[in-house]
Amino acid sequence: MHGMNTRRWAPSVTVAAIVHDAALPRRYLLVEEHTPEGLKLNNPAGHLEPGEGPLEGVCRETLEETTCVFQPQALLGVYLSRFQRPASGEDVTYVRFAYLGTVDAPNPARALDEGIVRTLWCTLDEVRLAAAAGRLRSPLVLRCLEDAEAGVAHPLGAVLADASLRVPEIKG
């Protein structure tokens, strides 16, 4: 252990859905959302909740943020990034499980999650322009799309969520 800091480092675990349509040029599903830094574009994504595995989390987050049911097809990858919030100085390291998949049509009976302004379909070039303009929530938004374009994919079973996640803790 280095230094006097005895607090364990705890990265924030997130999940993200990388969804594209079949048209050429391919377009990707993004959400525009309110953040402390203003309106930003992101993949449908969010924090993993206690008791759920990454696959459950990415399906839940995609439904909440887009009103679409997500069907995961492959693990795109596991990504780490660091974000230092300019205003507060908050310093967070994120571990992102990104999944490739498809979505059904939006469900008009559902509302978009709080903070989500709209969903939109963008080409990779449009996302690159948004990145250059500082409009992306994270550098991982573009990196995941570039990896998807490059054909990166891993089996869904590459990440195991053990059943113990769902078993209530036994109190002695």
Reported as half-sphere exposure (CB side, CA atoms, 13 A), residue 156 has a value of 12
pLDDT for position 6: 67
Q: For residue 1, what are its two tokens?
A: 């252990």
Question: What is the pTM for the complete model shown?
Answer: 0.90
Backbone angles phi, psi at 41, to 5 degrees: -100, 145
CATH of domain 12-159: 3.90.79.10
Name the amino acid, one letter, at 139.
P
- Going by pLDDT thresholds of 50, 70 and 90, the confidence category of residue 166 is confident
- Going by pLDDT thresholds of 50, 70 and 90, the confidence category of residue 1 is very low
Residue 163, sorted as left (phi over 0), alpha (psi -120 to 50) or beta, turns out to be alpha
Whether 26 and 20 have beta carbons less than 8 Å apart is answered as yes
What ranges do the domains of the chain cover?
12-159
